[in-house]
Each structure stands twice: as structure tokens, then as C-alpha cells.
Chain A
Amino acid sequence: MVILELQHLKKYYATHKAVDDISFSIPQGSIFGLLGPNGAGKTTLLRMITGIFYPDSGQIFFEGKKFNPEDDIAKIGYMPEERGLYKKMKIGEQALYLAMLKGMSRRDAMKKIKEWFVKFGMESWWNKKVNDLSKGMGQKLQFVITVLHEPKLLILDEPFSGLDPVNSNLIKDVIFKLAQNGTTIIFSTHRMEQVEEICNNIVLVNNGKKILDGTVKQVKDDFKEHIFKIGFDELPESFSSSAFDIVDSKENSFIVKIRDENKPANVLQEFLNHRAQIISFNEVLPSLNEIFIKVAGTKN
């Protein structure tokens, strides 16, 4: 089931086209990566999805119906890239206020806040002020505030920036758990390597335009160049073959590119024929970063 569908969204500013005819859809329960370099139009796109901006043209469908910020906003949780909290307000009161603004009753909000504060080890923070927190602690608090009202769609803009590995993992685990329970997560970042381990689906934007989208596996498959890495203990004799080209060679490994219609099995057979003591053989898929550079380069 598709939870969010964007059709031909456009948002132009006086000087540039921030979002220029972007369409894609997000399956429910997926962790969806919105990728692109700084200034690609990610934040503008997210602001339209959160009802902060109205698109100049195009349409957004949320849960199969036309997106109506007034009602649907309570089902969305948004953590902007630039974190923001009232510096002088007590943390507990602040969480309560923001949860109630999302439409929670006071009692439900209190219950949830206590649950999350325990889960994140923040019980003693209630009467502190944001000023007293470190940057990482502030990040955790911001995350908790974003998920308090159990949104169906959780939008996280660069959620790991400024977090140490321990807290990054803590939040990563929570993200996986939420997704298992049916929450759809949009994960916006320019750090491609994070996406590969977290997301199932991605869309790549640059200069306000969609460059590509699909599942991570599918995108990688589309861009794979039939490159394999062969590791061995010993190679008794050097040889060349019509089945592949050697791209890179090290003492105990080769990186090869398969030629034409040949199969990986043919390559492996050639090595075996030359009595190589093979210990590993695997395909080298392009990283999203490489794909992005390639695609962005050709499209420009």
C-alpha cells in the first residue's frame, strides 16, 4: 500500500526552481531515503509534505486521499535538519506542549513522554532546560519529541548529524523497530553511505529534479558494471582471458570486469583452470555515492 504519493510537484522561488516536477510514491512501512546534495531541493520537498509550504502546482496524496495539512498533520512527525527547541523552557513542559500541539490529550502525552524518557535514559531531564543539554542530548530529545505522537509518517532530516556512534545506533534501532510496526519513515540525507544500510527505497534528487528512484537493490542492479573481486592464496601462473579484463590487481586479489555475454561462472572456471587457490569471489556493486556522481554528472 502506498502511504504518500507526489504527483508533478513544483515549487519555484524568484531566483531558482527549488522543486521542479517531482513525482514518486512511498510504500507504507518502508524506510524511504530522500537523497541529494545540499541545495538539491530536499528541504523544500519535505516542507511541502509537512504542509508548511503549498506547492505551486502538482498534488500530494496521503493515505490515498488528497493531502489536507489541517487533518493529516497530526499523523506526520517531522524533525527538521536545523534542530529547534525553546532554550529556556523546561524540557518536560516543552515535550508536553509540542505533543499537545500535535493533538494529543494531556494524559496521553504525559504517558508517552514518560515511556520514551525511560527508554532513552532521560528521566532526570524533566526540569532541566535545553541550555543545560549537550548537542547530542538535544538531538535525542528532538527525536523523542518527533515520535511522541506515534506518527504514521515520520520524516527525519539528517537524523544522525552530530550524534556519537552509541546514540546513532540507539536511534537506528528505534527507526527499524518503528518501521516493523508499520511506521513509514522518510530519511533525508546527503550522506549516501547511511542510506545503503537503512533504507529499502530511495529517490535521488538534484537541482530540484528527480534523477532516479526505486529499491536500493534495484538501483544498484541497474548501475552494476559486472565487476567482481576474486581473492586467492596463491596464483601459480599469470594468464589472460577473453572472458574478463583485470581492472586492478593486488598480491592476493584481482578486481575484474566481465566481458560481453560471459557469466561469473566462466570467470571462476578460468581461474580454477589455472589452479588458483580461490578463497573469495563476490560481485562489487557500485555505492550509491558512485551512482549519484555518475548520474548527476551525465544529467548536467
Chain B
Amino acid sequence: MNKIWLVIKREYLTRVRNKTFILSTILLPLFFIGFIFASAYFSISSHENQKIAVADSSGIFKNSFQSSDLITYEYPSDVNADNFKEKGYSAFLKIPEDYNSGNDSISLISTKQLGIDAEDKIKDEINDAIRNQAFLKNNIDKKVLDSINKIDEDGMYKFRTVVKQGSKTEKSNAELSYGIGYGSGFLIYITLFIYGAAVMRGVMEEKMNRIAEVIISSVKPFQLMLGKILGIAAVGLTQLLIWIVLIVLLSSVSTSLFSADTLQHAQAMNSTMGAAGNSSAAMNFLNAKSTFLSANWGLIIPCFLFYFVAGYLFYASLFAAVGSVVNEDPQEAQSLMLPITMPIILSFVIMTTAVGKPDSPIAVWASIIPFSSPIVMMGRIPSGNVPAWQIIVSMLSLVAGFVLTTMLAAKIYRTGILLYGKKVTFREMGKWLFRKG
């Protein structure tokens, strides 16, 4: 209707023209990308080389430790637990003669923690050395042993998972679907709060400014509420669209940065050194990108948009109802919001388990019931094995759900928006729901 359209337009334009909107829309993806680069940078820079002094009283580990770019092993004779620091070692690995007797243990002595990565690597080296020692002791030929050890090191085999449904087989990638499910569920969770709170604040503003009464003498309360909800939905979609465009732009920029020289170099290395050589950053990036593109985006994107909008519509009217009954006191809003925020938080918790076990009964039910379905279903869909009927039932009940919440919320809103100075209880709101006229 014409009046709702006017309200939508005002809500949309005043928000989109707002400086905070423009800044947050542009800065957020930049922060996000910056965060990724920063964490990548720090994870690389923390990999400084550690020199370990090994004192091997058993004599069997000598030269069986492989130095890497992370850890260098040396076997000096004049270093002990007290002076390794002065001699320039970051740790002292003490292997007693009867390390496997149970009375004694292999100990790694350092002045500060070496870090989980380094400690794991050292433990692996020790395990490998002990295992190799055991094989050799039992008369396994050294050559045979070397070739066996080479099997997984060289990646002589490749592992992939395939999901077979009838005649259709798909390459599956559990980690990827986990990531996409978690990411999209989280995004819906966050946006429910951001835009829901925006609706609530907008309603509160109109009530506090007392403009509600002026407007309600021109439009029905329901039209005002719906206009606000739809206007903010349009703002949310605009923001999402801008983010998608920015991310696509930035990722294509970064691809072009990695391409040309780096890529040729990486491919050259790849062909000369075999599969083991593809550890360069560019190859990793390209691999990640192709895996990323392998996800079922044709299903995920439409579903995401649906649950993003419908989930918002389900909760937005409830936020509007809360905004309408709040008086000056923001504390009041907090306690009134509890019944809305609890199911959202609970859905998020269910979603975090649903991405790991998409077919567990709780995940299935929570993805169908409207209160939790927007978040939980998005956690399940990328796994690719959600039956179509479940998606359809979930979508239909969410649509029915938001029609119902909007109708109920409108009844509270209509009374609350003009009620001042009185603290409203849930009991009273309950009465408003069943009042006619």
C-alpha cells in the first residue's frame, strides 16, 4: 500500500544516508580481511627457528631427528640442562639411557614454553625414531622401512570423500561444509541481533519522541510497524549486497596479486617437485579457492537469502513489540528482550553442534521449528544431505511463523506505542493479545 511504501522509504533512506551505516558497511569487510591477513602474518612470524640441544645417553636417537625450518637439532657434548641458554639453544632435550623403562622419562627443558607446534613436532620426531628403532630391532630391512615411511610423506595416495545419492555422486568436503554452515549460521545469528535491535530502537525512538501519535493519526499502527520492519530489512539486504560485492572484488584483487609470476613459479615447482611441492602460498590459495567454489552454492545462496530475510521477519516484529512497551528506562528493554534473545542464543548453540552432526534428531527438529530454523538450517544445508522435504517444511513453517508473530506483535505494538509512564508486565501483554478491536 502507498502509505506503507512511504514509511519503508523513509526508514530506508534515513538509515542508508546515515554516516554510521556507510562507515560500518565499508569498514567491516576491510576489518575482516585485515584480521585474516594479520592472523596469517602472525602465524608465519611466530615460526622462528628453534635450536634444540639433544643429549642422548641411550645413543639410539643420534642423527635420527630431522631438522626442519621450524626446529634444528644439534648434538653438542658440552651442553647440559644448566648452560643450554648461554650456548644459544632454546631448549635442552634430555634422553636418559633407560628412557623406556618406566622409571625415567625423556624431558624437554626450556626457560619458556616453546609453543604447541614445536612441542608436537618434537614429540612426533621422538615417536618416529622409537618406532623406526623398534622395526630395525626386529630385523625389518632398512630399505623396506624407508619405503614404508615414504608412503604418507610423499602423498602417494590421495583421500577424498564422495557422497552417493542414487545415481548422483558429489564430491563432498566435510570441512568446507562445516565452515560454510557455521559461517552462514553465525551471520544470521549476528544480523538477527543487529537488525532486530535496530527495529526496537526505531520503535522506541518514535515512542519517546512522541511522534508515534502524530503518525498513527495518519496511518494504522500496523502499517507503521510493518513499514519500519520492511525498511530495515531493505537496509540489511543492501548491506549484505555491498559486502558480497566488496568481498568478490577484494578476492579477485588478491587473486590477481597472487597470479602471473607467483602462479607460474608455483606451477613450475609443482611439476618439478611433484605434489609435495605445492605448499607455496599461491597454490594453497588457489586450492582453497577451487575447493571453496566446489560447494553447492546454487542451493546455499538462495537458502541463505531466504533464511536471512524470513528469520529477520520472524523476530523483527517481536523486537518491535518490545520497543513499543518500553518507557524511558533502557534496563526495562533488557529484561523484556530476554524471551526473544534466549531462543536466538539457543539456536546458535544448537547450530554449532548441527554443523558437525547435521542429521542428529535435535538438529533436524531445530531446523524445522521456526524459532530456531533460520540459524540451525543454515548450519545443516551446506552438508548437502538435508532432504528436500525438510527444507520445504522448514521454510513453510517459518513463513507461517512470521505471519503469526507479526500479527501477535502488532496487537502489543498498537497498545504499547501510545502507553506512557507505566511499566508493562508480560501478563498485561498477554491480555492485549486476546483483546479485540
- Could you tell me which A residues sit within 8 Å of B by CB distance? 14, 47, 50-52, 54, 56, 69, 73-74, 76, 78-80, 82-89, 97-98, 100-102, 142, 145
Contact = CB atoms under 8 A, between A and B. Distances in A.
A51 B437 contact: no
Given A80-B210, A84-B210, A98 B14 contact: no
A77 to B, nearest CB: 8
30 contacts: A50-B217, A52-B216, A52-B418, A73-B217, A74-B218, A78-B213, A79-B214, A80-B210, A80-B213, A80-B214, A80-B217, A82-B210, A83-B210, A84-B209, A84-B210, A84-B212, A85-B211, A86-B205, A86-B209, A86-B211, A89-B14, A97-B10, A98-B214, A98-B218, A100-B6, A101-B7, A101-B215, A102-B218, A142-B214, A145-B214
B215 to A, nearest CB: 7
Top 4 nearest A-B pairs (CB, nearest first) are A84-B210, A84-B211, A78-B217, A101-B218
Interface of B: 3, 6-7, 10, 14, 205-206, 209-220, 418, 431, 437
A84 B213 contact: yes
Contacts of A85: 209, 211, 214
- With most chain A CB atoms within 10 A of its CB, the pick from B7, B218, B431 is B218
Contact of A51 (B14, B205, B217): B217
A86 B215 CA distance: 11
Nearest to A100: B6
Given A79-B214, A86-B14, A86-B211, 8 more contacts: A76-B217, A78-B217, A84-B209, A85-B209, A101-B6, A101-B215, A142-B214, A145-B214
Nearest to B223: A101
Nearest to B436: A54
Contacts of B431: 14
B219 A101 contact: yes
A86 B208 CA distance: 10
A100 B2 CA distance: 10
Contacts of A87: 209
A54 B82 CA distance: 90
A67 B6 CA distance: 25
Contacts of A52: 213, 216-217, 418
Main secondary structure of the interface of B (DSSP, over half): helix
A interface secondary structure, majority: loop
Contacts of B206: 84
Contacts of A69: 220
A51 B205 CA distance: 22
A43 to B, nearest CB: 9
A97 B6 contact: yes
A159 to B, nearest CB: 14
A123 B30 CA distance: 43
B161 to A, nearest CB: 55
A98 B215 contact: yes
Contacts of A83: 210
Nearest to B211: A84
Contacts of A84: 206, 209-214
B212 to A, nearest CB: 7
Nearest to A149: B218
A14 B10 CA distance: 36
Contact of A47 (B215, B220, B418, B437): B418
A79 to B, nearest CB: 8
A56 B206 CA distance: 26
A73 B211 contact: no
A83 B209 CA distance: 8
A233 B220 CA distance: 66
Contacts of B218: 73-74, 98, 101-102
A97 B10 CA distance: 8
Contacts of B418: 47, 52
A55 to B, nearest CB: 9
Nearest to A102: B218
B9 to A, nearest CB: 9
Contacts of A101: 3, 6-7, 215, 218-219
Contacts of B219: 101
Nearest to B212: A84
B117 to A, nearest CB: 52
B10 A78 contact: no
Which residue of A74, A97, A102, A142 has the most chain B CB atoms within 10 A of its CB atom?
Answer: A97
Contacts of B6: 97, 100-101
A69 B220 CA distance: 9
